[in-house]
Amino acid sequence: MNDNRNAWRNFNKGVWCDDINVSNFIKMNYTAYDGDSSFLEGPTERTKKEMSRVHELLVAENEKGGVLNVDTSKVITILSHPAGYVIDKDTDIIVGLQTDEPLKRGVSPFAGIRSSVQACNAYGYEMSDKIKDEFTYRTTHNTGVFRAYTETMKKARHAGILTGLPDAYARGRIIGDYRRIALYGMDFLIEKKKYDKDKLGEKEFLDDETIHLLEDLAKQIEFMYQLKELALLYGYDISKPAVNAFEAIQWLYFGYLGAVKEQNGAANSIGRIAEFMDIYIERDLKENTLTEQKAQELIDDLVIKLRLVRHLRTPEYNDLFAGDPVWVTLALAGVTNEGKHMVSKTSYRVLNTLYNLGSSAEPNITVLWSERLPENFKKFCAKVSIDTDSIQYENDDLMRRMYGDDYAIACCVSAMKMGKQMQFFGARCNLAKILLMTLNGGRDEIAGDQIAPEGVAFGDEVLDFDKVYTEYKNYLKWLAKLYVNTMNIIHYMHDKYAYERLMMSLHDTDVERLMAFGVSGFSVAVDSLSAIKYAKVYPVRDERGLITDFEIKGNFPKYGNDDDRVDLIGKDLIEYFYRELCKTPAYRGAKHTLSILTITSNVMYGRKTGSTPDGRKAGEPFAPGANPMHGRDAEGALASLNSVAKLDYACCRDGISNTFSITPDALGKNEDDRIVHLVTMLDGYFLQDAHHLNVNVLNREKLVAAMNDPTLYPSLTIRVSGYAVNFNKLTRDKQEEVIARTFHHAM
């Protein structure tokens, strides 16, 4: 790597010079910043001009029902489209669009041709015969999965016990380490992959997995060459490492762009890039080739491009993941293993884009919170939360113990080591519905079908907690096995028919795999068990003899009030389910992980679930993620946080999502108080090993007004469940659910 002397000038050398090790590079070279936000610059004239064009485009997109344009003539791939610009070649700084025009969506049928056709039709487009013909004799991921699915899997899926599985859309939640392109250049990375492939081929016996990996590597290398071509379309040669901040950001962005052209996975996150970019910016500032204003402009322009990423989705998909999210999750700050905070000026610059460009759902800015972050930075984050409701917080002190100090967040709450771990995404199962199925001996309480094996019968007498809980655990055991095997099929087929060639090329060859399971209806299940234990719950049967309702006599403790009597039921439930999942081996040696996260599917899951023993009526939405049920957290905000904090991250390593809304008046009397209180609250919550918090500081009245007249607040952004959305992009039922959530208010 002799020709890297210029690109790596003035960098501190380390092991990163000899082999791929971005983490080492960052730690050897970043500049920790303890100061406040006063150095930040506003938008340049150019940025304002570009943003006003973006604003026009967003308005037009909204007026056309959410999709501005679709190129149905051809399949989108890395090299499918000529260069495109927001304004033009000279005005855009960071260049590259998925297609030839901003917000024009491409068709990507690799995960499923049927859903692609539906997606086109949903927005009034017709897929071209050319694409249809191309895919007539081609197996997609979706076809593969359904060939292998068993009848039980199909039934469980249909009934809504296992739902939202990535069996008809691309799985996502894989983060390429795009920083590698800037630091090493593509030629070195290609050379390295070729070396790995040669080395692997020398093994004594080439078993299934080795052959599989050999083919993976060949695919990766092919797409690494394509990425170089993509950059050349825009006039840049990314063979060699970046020599300055502009190139570093542009190279990194080309990697991300190639990934979102190749793949339309459910969450395509960009990783932990702020502190990396900062090293290049700092060097340029020292060399006087960059000013603060220009540095901010670079970050602003990158963020503008990230805000324009789009995929073509079906209405069913939107039901699960409302608001057209891409989850360009960008994790920043955190602390090194050695205890030094990683806040840089670029951590601030990224947050500053929410002021310079206005609040926005994307990128999904995630602050890796630690007690050790500088007080100035904590306060700035709190201010940004209060002003924009656009950022989320995740506990670095907790995650660092398991993922080290160079992990990032995919999607909402999924931690993974950059370039070293990938995830097999697995949506979620419905804990509340399985409880109803338990009471009905394996039958679906809505359709009446026998889904799970027959179990013990429950009479009309008051429900006995021990009996219910024992039986419930039997059904969870059955479900866990079914769930793991279903996931094994899905990811076998996804690897086979829709492998993420470019993203995986930006991972180590011997990547560690995580298989991420999930649960929904957590608080409903927990409160239902509490009701059965502490109150008297009588089953009510319908004409089919199925238990479809409950009569509840007496009070019972509810999850969300820091009450161990109920909180510990939840803790036990989740730990039991995780242990059961681990008993069935996962595809490709993956490690099982679990999340309590619903995204926005809590509304859909609620719709598919009958009345529950906690008093929730059939069809009513669940609370999102690990949140207590709406309005049941009666002892205030912190009691609610404390209940969630009891859940053990060690068995929910894919994240425990909590969304928190508070009115400005309740948070404090004035801006200074609000900032200090929010910082104190975050510190207190995370000190207890809690994992995640979405923070909204707003009044319910504002949301009601926005629901009734979307033009009032066109860019109203709120955190929902691990991500932010533009409130106006939610459907009415989801808006109503958000409004029904607990808003902690002043008394």
Partner 1 sequence: MADIHSFESFAALDGEGIRYAVFFTGCPLRCVYCHNPDTWHKSGNDMTAEEVFNKVRRFKPYFRNGGGVTFSGGEPLLNSEFINGIYPMLKSENIGYCVDTSGSVALTDDVRQAVDNADMIILDIKFCDSEKYKKFTGGDIEKPLTLGKYCSGKGKRLVLRTVVVPGINDTEDEIEKYAKYVIENGLIFEKYELLAFHTMGFFKYENLGIENPLADTPALEPSRLDELQKHLDKTLKVIGG
Residues that bind partner 1 in the complex, under the rule CB under 8 A: 562, 634-640, 642, 662, 666-669, 673, 676-677, 680-681, 683-685, 687-688, 744, 746-747
Q: How far is the CB of 668 from partner 1 (least distance, A)?
A: 5
The b-or-e profile of 474-487 (16+ CB within 10 A means b, else e) is: ebbbbbbebbbbbb
The nearer residue to partner 1, 650 or 746, going by C-beta atoms, is 746
Q: How far is the CB of 527 from partner 1 (least distance, A)?
A: 19
Which residues have a Cβ under 8 Å from the Cβ of 170 and sit 6 or more positions away?
108, 110, 111, 141, 263, 264, 265, 266, 494, 498
Q: How far is the CB of 687 from partner 1 (least distance, A)?
A: 4
- Which two three-digit tokens encode residue 133? 């013909």
The nearer residue to partner 1, 618 or 639, going by C-beta atoms, is 639
Give dist(CA 70, CA 103) in Å, integer: 9
Q: Give the three-state DSSP class for 597.
A: coil
Q: How far is the CB of 32 from partner 1 (least distance, A)?
A: 23
Phi, psi of 476 (to 5 degrees): -65, -35
Q: How far is the CB of 675 from partner 1 (least distance, A)?
A: 11
**Contact 739/661 with Cβ under 8 angstroms?**
no
The nearer residue to partner 1, 303 or 566, going by C-beta atoms, is 566
Give dist(CA 379, CA 368) in Å, integer: 14
Give dist(CA 413, CA 417) in Å, integer: 13
Respond yes or no on whether the N-terminal peptide bond of residue 453 is cis (omega within 30° of 0).
no
Give dist(CA 34, CA 709) in Å, integer: 43
Checking 281-286 for CB contacts under 8 A at 24+ apart, the result is 281/245, 281/345, 281/346, 282/31, 282/344, 282/345, 283/9, 283/10, 283/11, 283/244, 283/245, 284/244, 284/245, 286/10
Would the CA dihedral through 590, 623, 711, 65 be positive or negative? positive
The nearer residue to partner 1, 147 or 669, going by C-beta atoms, is 669
The nearer residue to partner 1, 316 or 635, going by C-beta atoms, is 635
Q: How far is the CB of 368 from partner 1 (least distance, A)?
A: 19
What angle do helix axes 22-29 and 274-286 make, rounded to 10 degrees? 50
The nearer residue to partner 1, 601 or 642, going by C-beta atoms, is 642
The nearer residue to partner 1, 9 or 669, going by C-beta atoms, is 669
In 3D, which of 728, 666, 733 has the Cα closest to residue 703? 728
- Which two three-digit tokens encode residue 669? 């009397």
The nearer residue to partner 1, 251 or 685, going by C-beta atoms, is 685
Q: How far is the CB of 683 from partner 1 (least distance, A)?
A: 7
Four-CA torsion 489, 502, 510, 271, nearest 10 degrees = -100
- Of 17, 120, 381, 412, catalytic: 412
Q: How far is the CB of 651 from partner 1 (least distance, A)?
A: 22
- Which two three-digit tokens encode residue 253? 């962005």
Look up tokens 């083919």; give the residue: 215
Q: Could you give the angle at the alpha carbon of 480 between the alpha carbons of 474 and 481, nearest 5°?
A: 100
Query: Which residues share a beta bridge with 512?
Result: 421
Q: How far is the CB of 63 from partner 1 (least distance, A)?
A: 37
Give dist(CA 631, CA 561) in Å, integer: 11
Q: What is the amino acid identity at position 18?
A: D
The nearer residue to partner 1, 7 or 690, going by C-beta atoms, is 690
Is 120 part of the annotated catalytic residue set? no
Is 652 part of the annotated catalytic residue set? no
The nearer residue to partner 1, 572 or 683, going by C-beta atoms, is 683
The nearer residue to partner 1, 539 or 668, going by C-beta atoms, is 668
Q: How far is the CB of 677 from partner 1 (least distance, A)?
A: 5
**Contact 647/570 with Cβ under 8 angstroms?**
yes
* Residue 366 buriedness (CB in 10 A; 0-12 / 13-18 / 19+): buried
Q: What is the amino acid identity at position 60?
A: A
Q: How far is the CB of 704 from partner 1 (least distance, A)?
A: 17
Q: Could you give the angle at the alpha carbon of 427 between the alpha carbons of 424 and 431, nearest 5°?
A: 130
**What are the Cα distances from residue 414, in Å, to 262, 327, 328, 504, 685?**
22, 11, 13, 17, 19
- Of 381, 411, 429, 652, catalytic: 411
**Contact 560/523 with Cβ under 8 angstroms?**
yes
Would the CA dihedral through 292, 293, 294, 295 be positive or negative? positive
Which residues have a Cβ under 8 Å from the Cβ of 448 and sit 6 or more positions away?
544, 546
Q: What is the amino acid identity at position 390?
A: S
- Catalytic residue numbers read 411-412
